[in-house]
Structure formats: structure tokens, C-alpha cells
Amino acid sequence: DSGLYIVATPIGNLADMSQRAIEMLRAADLIAVEDSRVTGKLLHHLGLKKRMRPYHDHSSDADREALLAAAREGVVVLVSDAGTPLISDPGYKLVRAAREAGIPVSTAPGASAVVTALSISGLPTDRFLFAGFLPSKAKARADVIAEIGNVKSTLVFYESGPRLGVTLAALAEQLGAREAVVARELTKKFEEVVSGTLPELAERYAEAEPKGEIVLIVGPPGEVQAEQGDYEGALKVALETLPP
């Protein structure tokens, strides 16, 4: 079947590649990739040899048109280096253009670091705001933190080792002692999940520059926690005043 297929790849552990993802790669006439070396290794591991073509969101309209033309005739698969395409990765403009052109778009879903980290963080997951990478310039970063800091949601960021300390310090300064989690190297040999308040984590990572890939999660603002506290208090009172 012709069309554009968005295929998730593992975020570190090759065994997380789904059967459907493998089948879609096998069926592909053309694979749009971020980095042909990275995807080349995955294809080699799967025993597949496929035509690849680089794709980024700054690719030209002509590049997108070429991929759409191929998706009208055959199976075009979009992958990123790791995880789910479009999630802090290229693909948004391509999917939009394909849908506008009436080309079928489907997916083999799989790992994404944001959901993986949330699922083992122990922080509330009923509402979360994924904010991708914070800007690296101090003013722009402070503006974003101010903009989303009071949203009554858990906040999720992607981060790198060298920037983690600075980011935690900025979050601690603006958001105070909220609970947070640093989730590192998920699904890999050195997977680690560290919990603490923002100031505690800022201190811990002030000097240490952890290696590998990181998701940083910040719990919701106090009001939400206070509401939960009040609820528990109210429940206790209600139970105590129940008739025997």
C-alpha cells in the first residue's frame, strides 16, 4: 500500500523495535532519515538494505514534494535517529503536507523518551506539558519557564548532560522546591532515575556532568499538591466523624 508511514525506532535498546515497525521498514520503497549512518546501522542489524534519503524540517519544499511523489507511488517510511519521529524531531511539515495532499499517513508506534520517563518517574501523569528542549540562552530560557511554570501540570523537558546543572538551577530559582526527576539513559545499560526537589537536584548536578541522554521532569506547582493534601485531610475528618 502506498503512503507515508511514521515509524518509531528504539530509544536505546534494539529489542524495543516492534514487529510492525520491522515489517514497515521491510516494505519500504524509500526511507526518509535524519542521519543515514544511524538508520543504516539499524537496517544492517535487521538484515535490510533500503534506499534512504535525508529529511529535516528545514528541507526545502522541493525535497518534501519529492518524498510526497514517492509516497503516491509506493511506501515511504519516515524514521528519526531514535524514538518517535516528530517528537523533538523532524517530520511535522512532511506529515502536514502529506495530509493536505490526501496521501494516506499511518504509523507503527513505539518508544518515546517523554512517555518512557513519565511512566517510571513517580510524578503525577494525569496532566503533563511536554516542552522539549529549553532554550540555551538565559533570557529566553527564563521566559519559557515563566510562561509554563504556573501551568497545573507536570512539566517534561529533554536535556543534555552538559546543560543539566544550569537548567536545574534556573528551574529551582524560578519554580522553587518542586519535586523533580532526572531520568537518564532509559532502556540502556546505565539507566538511572534520580528524584529530589529542584534545589536538591540543582546542587547534585551543579558540578557533575552526567553522561548520556536525559529527560527532566518537574512535578506540578504546590497548589495542586495542596489540593491533594486538603483532600486527604477532608477524607480523614470525614472518616473520623462517620457514625459507628
The answer to whether residue 84 forms part of the interface with ligand SAM (CB under 6 A) is yes
Output 57 or 232, the one with its CB closest to ligand SAM: 57
The answer to whether residue 113 forms part of the interface with ligand SAM (CB under 6 A) is yes
Q: Which stretch binds ligand SAM (CB under 6 A): 19-27, 37-45, 180-188, 226-234?
A: 180-188
Binding ligand SAM by CB under 6 A: which of 17, 24, 42, 80?
Answer: 80
C-alpha cell at 97: 503536507
C-alpha cell at 21: 515497525
The answer to whether residue 112 forms part of the interface with ligand SAM (CB under 6 A) is yes
Output 145 or 181, the one with its CB closest to ligand SAM: 181
* Cα separation values, 161 from 39, 125, 129, 182, Å: 24, 24, 21, 11
Binding ligand SAM by CB under 6 A: which of 17, 25, 181, 214?
Answer: 214
- Number of C-beta neighbours around residue 212 at 10 A: 15
Q: Which stretch binds ligand SAM (CB under 6 A): 41-49, 56-64, 179-187, 198-206?
A: 179-187
Q: Which residues of 13-41 are buried (b: 16+ CB within 10 A; e: fewer)?
A: eeebbbeebbebbeebebbbbbeeeebbe
Output 83 or 219, the one with its CB closest to ligand SAM: 83
Which ranges of 10-137 does DSSP label H, i.e. alpha helix?
19-27, 36-45, 61-73, 92-100, 113-121
Binding ligand SAM by CB under 6 A: which of 6, 24, 76, 82?
Answer: 82
Provide the residue type at 54 as one letter: P
Which ranges of the chain does DSSP label H, i.e. alpha helix?
19-27, 36-45, 61-73, 92-100, 113-121, 138-148, 161-175, 198-204, 222-240
Output 29 or 191, the one with its CB closest to ligand SAM: 191
Binding ligand SAM by CB under 6 A: which of 48, 66, 68, 87?
Answer: 87
CB of 79 to ligand SAM, least distance (A): 10
